[in-house]
Amino acid sequence: MTAAVFAGRFAGKVIVVTGAAQGIGRAVALRAAAEGASVLFVDRADFLAEVVAEAQGDAAGFIADLETWAGANAAMRNAADTFGGIDILINVVGGAIRMRPLAEFEPDQIDAEIRRSLMPTLYGCHAVLPHLAARGGGTIVNVSSNATRGIHRVPYSAAKGGVNAITRSLAMEVAGQNIRVVATAPGGTEAPPRRIPRNAAGDSPDERQWMAQVVEQVTGSSVLKRYGTIDEQAAPILFLASDEASYITGSVLSVAGGDEG
């Protein structure tokens, strides 16, 4: 359970959080519920209901594969049916599946990275727009990455560069509908062991070595010379989602200990 820091900050708001079964998405969804929002937790993990049960406040779960248009659309429809509309979408699904130099990627592995880290945000934004417009406006927060400049995960870097482009360009398109589109770009983030691994096939000894090089590069590129925590990622995401950020749109906020990505 994640405690409210600003009690009532999201009172009366409906928030959809994707990737809510673990990691950053879980922390964001639990804190949003504790701060007064009605929250739809969306994920494809079969244990999602256990996480929803931890929420203090109004919460429901919806299982969907957000790498598909149908999944994204069904999730937004479910939120609107369950809670009467949508005010905020927080697109968290993503994450590098494999760490390896570009030359070592197979073509199907490249496609899988783009499907995981670009398409859920693109489909999610597209699917939520009519729901936000129906409320007279709203907010989309995308979770990008400082890996737009980093080693051993170039396809993922490209996907997150795409997320930044969606954020900047869509913000221009929909400003007139009172919709803000913003993003955070997390740096390396400490997390408890993942219940769902990024790479279901497991990591080879080479991949573990390349991962160690990534950790060294990420830590070295930061000014603070350390990884962040999940709570340090959830806090700026929820700030950007809140009305406190009403004059911020089209921005990608680095949350990476000083690494601008």
Longest CA span, the chain: 52
- Of 133 and 217, nearer to ligand NAD (C-beta) is 217
- Of 129 and 147, nearer to ligand NAD (C-beta) is 147
- Of 66 and 140, nearer to ligand NAD (C-beta) is 66
Minimum Å gap between C-beta 236 and ligand NAD is 12
Q: How many whole angstroms separate alpha carbon 213 and alpha carbon 201?
A: 20
- Of 174 and 237, nearer to ligand NAD (C-beta) is 237
Residue nearest to ligand NAD (CB): 23
Minimum Å gap between C-beta 51 and ligand NAD is 9
Catalytic residue numbers? Answer: 156
- Give the binding site for ligand NAD (CB under 6 A): 19, 21-25, 43-45, 65-67, 92-95, 116-117, 120, 143, 145, 186, 188-189, 191, 194, 196, 198
Residue 17: count other Cβ atoms within 10 Å of its Cβ. Answer: 32
Minimum Å gap between C-beta 259 and ligand NAD is 10
Q: Residue 258: CA atoms inside 13 Å, Cβ hemisphere, count? A: 8
Minimum Å gap between C-beta 108 and ligand NAD is 16
